[in-house]
Amino acid sequence: MSYVLGIDGGASKTVCILMDDLCQVLGRGEAGPSNYQGIGIEATLQSIQSAIQNAVKAAIITSTLNIDAICLGLAGVGRAADIEVVKSLVEELQNNKLLPITWALKPANIVICNDALIALVGGIGQPVGIVVAAGTGSIVFGRNNQGHTKRVGGWGYILGDEGSAYKIAIAGMNAALKSDDGREKSTSLIEGFKQHLDLESIEDLIELIYRRGWGVKKIAALAPIVDFAAASGDIVANIIIDDAVKELVKATSTVIDAIFSSNSILEVVTTGSVWRGRCKIHERFAASLGKKFPEVRVIFPRYEPAYGAGLLALQTTQN
């Protein structure tokens, strides 16, 4: 029996899946963040170790586990320098005598990749297709049968992230202020922001956003205000949602054109908070993309990203 570990590491938490060679999840563990660029290498190592310990503990296995492969899908990992840093973390893991496992890793059984790939594999259940991630930020990533990949977006809130919760929230506040000026149509977004943020005037957004220094995540958390207004029929809010859909369809189409044929039968998995809105953005996206590519099927994730990491790790033991 082969045992593998799948790790999904991000800016908010780390998830570890312990899996056997029958693709059965034996244990699942969570820990703190593991984006080393934000919290440092030592803190990242601690989070990964804790997630592994918690997954093994949840498995309720009395004998020592022999780990044959590991996949770490981490946010922000893509450059050669990042991969070398993560390789050093794996070496540290193997030297840790406190973990209730033994290691049988060969270089070919260590997979280090970005979180988009494990979201694709976990979401679809295989390493072929496209993932459209639209949460705080946005990115589209695809992989074909030949192993060729294509990434579109993921350039951050200043340079990109079209279709993300952050950009939807910013567009909503911008539209509310323009409407208050008289430059934009009347919109319920004004009252929506005022009620949600307990503002006396929409102009008080200045105090929140600038003087209190609201960050990206806090601003992105305002996207549901735009979503609710759109679901309620607000014309301005619906224009914002339609613009987000257009950007995400354009990015997805670019990936399809780059590594798939136009009549390919493939699945596109959607992940992130944007897709859970009330305004049927998922249905709008699927319908718009379907007009260009009738054979493409848009789905919600079948499994979580850590499971995708486990599948990628298991794949190395079967080659």
**What are 211-239's pLDDT values in tens digits?**
888 888 899 999 999 999 999 999 999 99
Higher pLDDT, 38 or 174: 174
pLDDT > 90? residue 1: no
Amino acid at 9: G
Q: Of 79, 221, 220, which Cα lies nearest the Cα of 151?
A: 79
Q: Residue 270 burial (CB < 10 Å; 0-12/13-18/19+)?
A: buried
pLDDT tens track for 294-307: 999 999 999 999 99
State the average pLDDT over residues 244-252: 98
72 secondary structure, DSSP code:
E
CA distance linking residue 282 with residue 290, whole number of Å: 12
Per-residue pLDDT, 65: 83
Q: Output helix, strand, coil percentages for the chain, rounded to the nearest 5.
A: 50, 20, 30
State the average pLDDT over residues 10-18: 90
How is residue 240 written in tokens?
């914002």
CA distance linking residue 208 with residue 201, whole number of Å: 12
pTM of the model: 0.89
pLDDT tens track for 117-162: 999 999 999 999 999 999 988 999 999 999 999 999 988 889 989 9
Could you give the angle at the alpha carbon of 246 between the alpha carbons of 242 and 247, nearest 5°?
Answer: 120
Q: Of 120, 146, 119, which Cα lies nearest the Cα of 259?
A: 146
Mean pLDDT of the chain, nearest integer: 92
pLDDT tens track for 62-116: 677 889 999 999 887 877 888 888 899 999 988 877 777 888 899 999 999 988 9
